[in-house]
Homo-oligomer: A and B are copies of this chain.
Amino acid sequence: MESNKLIDHFSKYIQLSIEEIELIDSLFKPKSLKKKEFLLRSGETCRTESFIISGCLRTYSIDENGFEHTLTFAIEDWWTGDLLSFFTETPSFYNIIALENPEILQITKIDLDQLYLEVPKLEHYFRLLIQNAYISQQQRINQNLSQTAEQRYLDFIGKHSAFLQRIPQKHIASYLGITPVFLSMLRKKLIQK
């Protein structure tokens, strides 16, 4: 029963029978990653969606000048993977790398499709999940359009204080869309207040 945490998580949104829990258990495969190990490299096809039991991962792209841009940080009780690559079975643009030593549960597209058929309630769960993710992303876009780097940084440390300490500053800069050098200057300025 490695997937207790996953079942607990599902149970917050939908009710599952014993049989359904056993089916879920049989389809999710556990995996451990070490710090700096890649879950996905750009150019590879993302074959699984991953539920995070513990640890932390970062999804990022690399632009034509070699700079990294962080799309998401994912921690326990969240999912990670590249949805576009996963569903279209085409090469991904993104890299997903372990920031700590995560324990995850993975499911393949074939197994997830089967699960949707056998447990339609999960379609409801995943609709709600993606809907919430969509809403968060929209808020991030709105912030990027309407706020300065300083405001976005203050908002970030307010919202994500839980894993601030766990992430190098340069990755926070790449999430906020600024350089590490400029973030350092912002912090200095804020401390002086």
Q: Give residues in A with beta carbon < 8 Å to B.
A: 61, 63, 67, 69-71, 83-84, 87, 93, 116, 120, 123-124, 126-127, 130-131, 133-135, 137-138, 140-142, 144-147, 174, 177
Contact = CB atoms under 8 A, between A and B. Distances in A.
Contact of A69 (B116, B137, B142): B142
A123 to B, nearest CB: 5
A58 to B, nearest CB: 13
B135 A83 contact: yes
A173 to B, nearest CB: 11
Contact of A141 (B83, B140, B174): B140
A174 B141 CA distance: 12
Given A126-B127, A134-B130, A140-B141, A146 B69 contact: yes
A82 to B, nearest CB: 9
Nearest to A70: B145
A70 B120 CA distance: 36
Most chain B CB within 10 A, of A87, A93, A145, is at A145
B135 A138 contact: no
A174 B144 CA distance: 11
Given A131-B83, A144-B177, A146-B69, A138 B138 contact: no
A134 B137 CA distance: 8
A174 B177 CA distance: 18
A147 B65 CA distance: 10
